[in-house]
A and B are shown apart, each in its own frame.
Chain A
């Protein structure tokens, strides 16, 4: 079998060991990825960061960052964080249920392929067309709304909730859930049926199985996917802009106004500063996710 002892000896078989110390050649394996990312991601991010410190005339300034304290931008930040968090948690939970429903079926079956393909398409479906799809269904001129209204149920009697953040949350779920299904299914696939048998043969029921076996094993993947959903909702622009075109309630709309305003409110530096703020918020979310991860890994000990 494998030689007990230093795995480095077996895995670097053939490599000369120079002077008793192994050269840190492992790092070479990560070079292609980091080189590509450095040119096409870190460089653009750097350009954006530099741009955040520039005023319109090109001089260095901090006013872009101080503008982040404006009432409009603070409100948009809070609303976007709330929107993203709610759709991430709800989308992750519902998506996990659908993923589980699909993964427990025939792995080669047609249902699985259809659901996975549909999830792939719907996860990227958004923008003006998605907004219209919802307006055509449950909007004030939508089929379902008019049908129910004819039968006495008017769900807009208390106001047009589809036109504010509540409606946006519902519409966001339309692409959040399929995204969750797609990225979470590989984790559910990793659950082995033997574990269930083992749990039951030890006298555990469904609750015990989920609480002590499958739950802790799926939790890291679950929160990782939930973080992805959070970032996905956080940076979404076109869908929010199609549904609530007035007042820029979402942070990415604030960015668009600063970049594309043709009425003299063009502030590219501010747009860059807001982008940096968005990165910082997602960093904080990632830190939270890491803490949760570490706690959950303790359950596995």
Chain B
């Protein structure tokens, strides 16, 4: 009998917990300290660490009316881009996995292409299209979402690919189809719930990218959030850093809210095993 003793399990569990603590605390230090340094700088009233603290620069952020319009536009762009990206990518990736395996390398490369071309050059290629769109279709800032869907492709493809690779798409689809499900049902009620984490991550990546995007909007002469922040940044040093920290906080809170909205469905068997692994029952 090759039984795993409870004490062996507990020591393994303890080692895993120790590993998790060390890694997460090290990561927290590496990532939080620079942000705290920025926040500290934005509250300096003088030019030294030892000057009295002030919140005037933070208050000055609200004196800029153009910021609200820019935030609204960026939020709308984020929503449109995420939705369009999911609608475009998820069915395509599933379809390629099932039926067009020969195309998977091509799709993968195409999804990596936007990242290989720096944004400052990519925008040169966008100019004719946007000029045509401006004259014949619309000049609205929301047309930026056409470009943004392309920009998020690399990241979202990778997240969705990792998610799709972890489930057996072929078997799930065949099972559902043999039970008479339509393609729409297969996508919406079989595949999507099983890769909900990957979809959530892809959506979070898109939202974060759109909120942080600067180069394309600036070169096409649209005023999105980051362009407006750059404008603000010229006012004075304190405001420029305060508004940068504020925009990070804003994006973070938005993503946390989105992460709570995204539901997760775990398979029942996983729940049992997780309970077991936590060392509860035998």
Contacts and interface: CB of A to CB of B under 8 A. Distances in A.
A40 B116 contact: no
Contacts of A123: 155, 205, 208
Interface string A16-53: 00000000001101101100110111011111100100
Interface string A105-145: 10110010111111011111111111011101100001110
A107 B248 CA distance: 25
B45 interface: no
Contact of B23 (A98, A178, A197): A98
A157 interface: no
A56 interface: no
Contact of A136 (B37, B88, B174, B209): B37
A226 to B, nearest CB: 10
B241 interface: yes
Interface in B175-230: 175, 177-178, 195, 197-198, 200-201, 204-205, 207-209, 211-215
Interface string A49-85: 0010000000000000000000000000000000000
A184 B118 CA distance: 24
A45 B146 contact: no
B19 interface: yes
Interface in A138-178: 142-144, 146, 174, 177-178
Contacts of B167: 190
Interface extent on B, as a size class? 35 or more
Interface in B1-29: 2-4, 12, 16, 19-20, 23-24, 27
Contact of A132 (B98, B110, B165, B241): B241
A279 B122 CA distance: 12
Given A32-B92, A123-B208, A227-B112, A186 B118 contact: no
Contacts of B71: none
Nearest to B212: A124
Contact of B116 (A11, A179, A185, A278): A278
Interface of B: 2-4, 12, 16, 19-20, 23-24, 27, 30-31, 33-35, 37-38, 40-41, 49, 88-89, 91-92, 95-96, 98-100, 103, 105, 107-110, 112-122, 124-126, 128-129, 146-147, 149-150, 153-155, 158-163, 165-167, 173-175, 177-178, 195, 197-198, 200-201, 204-205, 207-209, 211-215, 233, 241, 244, 248, 251-252, 255-256, 258-260, 264, 266, 270, 273-274, 277
Interface string A269-280: 001101100110
Interface of A: 1-3, 7, 10-11, 13, 26-27, 29-30, 32-33, 36-37, 39-41, 43-48, 51, 97-98, 100-102, 104-105, 107-108, 111, 113-118, 120-130, 132-134, 136-137, 142-144, 146, 174, 177-179, 182-187, 189-190, 192-194, 197, 200-203, 206, 220-221, 224-225, 227-228, 231-232, 234-238, 252, 255-256, 259, 268, 271-272, 274-275, 278-279, 281-283, 286, 290
Given A26-B95, A259-B120, 4 more contacts: A29-B95, A48-B122, A121-B252, A256-B120
B178 A1 contact: yes
A37 B132 CA distance: 17
Given A32-B88, A121-B251, A182-B201, A231 B37 contact: no
9 contacts: A30-B95, A36-B88, A47-B128, A116-B204, A117-B258, A133-B34, A185-B162, A190-B166, A197-B4
Contact of B125 (A43, A129, A184, A200): A43
A174 B31 contact: yes
Contacts, number: 290
Contacts of A197: 4, 273
Contact of B252 (A117, A201, A232): A117
Nearest to A94: B27
A188 B195 CA distance: 13
B34 A30 contact: no
Contacts of A201: 2-4
A22 B122 CA distance: 41
Contacts of B37: 133, 136-137, 142-144
Contact of A116 (B88, B99, B201): B201
A183 B162 contact: yes
A40 B274 CA distance: 45
B273 A40 contact: no
Given A36-B88, A186-B166, A193-B274, A228 B158 contact: yes
